């Protein structure tokens, strides 16, 4: 297993539209295992392949407190969306930022499991919210896209400032190293 690097906003690679998985093989299972490890380590309750710079339609989710309910959704399609619910969201690709997003309350989803078998489920609550958040990632969309331009600009500045400061303290020699 391997922990993968998570892309952060405003990395343009997060805007890539992921393509469907066509081959259900051992390599796919390995990628899914790596995604779970990355998600649990982060820690987060969901992860889309797009966030680890892999642009295929693969999502892992575990909303349980004890990591006991791993769920994999491959090539997910929302067949039905019902109701509206507002909830506070966060994203591993937008660290430290939380804001309200309106989503469907219940969804019906068709997807492939990791063996390639087609499944259909009705979901609600946190699982429905998380699945919609992850499908957005596969379409190159982030939860901050639902916020105002002003908020998004503030978020971008805050993340860039944070990265600059962390970068400066982690590797002070780098800024003055000779440019070759
Ligand atoms: O860990 C996560 N928590 C979360 C909380 C509310 C709504 C969505 C999420 S998903 C997020 C992990 C993540 O960024 N997945 O893409
Ligand atoms: Ni996210």
- Report the Cα 65 to chain-centroid distance in Å: 18
Give the integer Cα–Cα distance in Å for 160 and 154: 10
- Can you tell me which residue has the tokens 């993340």? 159
**Test site for ligand 1: of 11, 43, 62, 90, most ligand atoms within 8 A of the Cβ:** 90
Answer whether residue 157 shows pLDDT above 80.
Answer: yes
Query: What domain range is 158 assigned to?
Result: 12-166
Residue 157 maps to which CATH number? 3.90.45.10
pLDDT score, position 2: 94
Q: What pLDDT sits at residue 167?
A: 87
Could you tell me if residue 180 is inside a domain?
no
Query: Which atom from ligand 1 is nearest to the alpha carbon of 134?
Result: 16
Q: Which residues place a Cβ less than 5 A from the ion ligand 2?
A: 91
Q: Which of 143, 155, 174 is nearest to 14 (CA)?
A: 143
- Give the whole-angstrom CA distance, residue 72 versus residue 58: 7
Q: What is the pLDDT of residue 115?
A: 98
- What is the C-alpha to C-alpha distance for residues 141 and 118, in angstroms, rounded to an integer? 25
Confidence of residue 174 (pLDDT cuts 50, 70, 90): very low
- Omega into 120 within 30° of 0, i.e. cis? no
Q: Is the pLDDT of residue 68 over 60?
A: yes
| Summary mean pLDDT of the chain | 94
Residue range 38-47, pLDDT digits in tens: 999 999 999 9
pTM for this model (two decimals) = 0.93
> For tokens 């969901």, what's the residue?
46
The count of structural domains within the chain is: 1
Residue 79, domain member (yes or no): yes
Task: Return the C-alpha torsion angle 166, 168, 171, 177, nearest 10.
Answer: 150
- In this prediction, residues 108-127 reach a mean pLDDT of 98
Indicate whether 125 belongs to any domain.
yes
């Amino acid at each position: 297993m391997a922990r993968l690097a998570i892309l952060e906003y405003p990395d343009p690679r997060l805007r890539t539209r992921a393509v469907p998985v066509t081959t259900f093989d051992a390599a796919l299972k390995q990628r899914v295992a790596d995604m779970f490890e990355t998600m649990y380590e982060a820690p987060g309750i969901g992860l889309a392949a797009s966030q680890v710079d892999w642009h295929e339609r693969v999502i892992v989710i575990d909303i349980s407190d004890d990591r006991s309910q791993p769920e994999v959704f491959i090539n997910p399609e929302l067949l039905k969306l019902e109701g509206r619910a507002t909830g506070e969201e966060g994203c591993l690709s937008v660290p430290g930022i939380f804001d309200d997003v309106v989503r469907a309350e219940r969804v019906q989803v068709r997807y492939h499991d990791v063996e390639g078998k087609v499944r259909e489920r009705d979901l609600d609550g946190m699982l429905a919210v998380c699945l919609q958040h992850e499908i957005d990632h596969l379409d190159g969309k982030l939860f901050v896209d639902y916020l105002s331009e002003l908020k998004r600009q503030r978020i971008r500045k805050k993340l860039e400032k944070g990265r600059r400061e962390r970068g400066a303290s982690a590797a002070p020699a780098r800024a003055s190293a000779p440019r070759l």
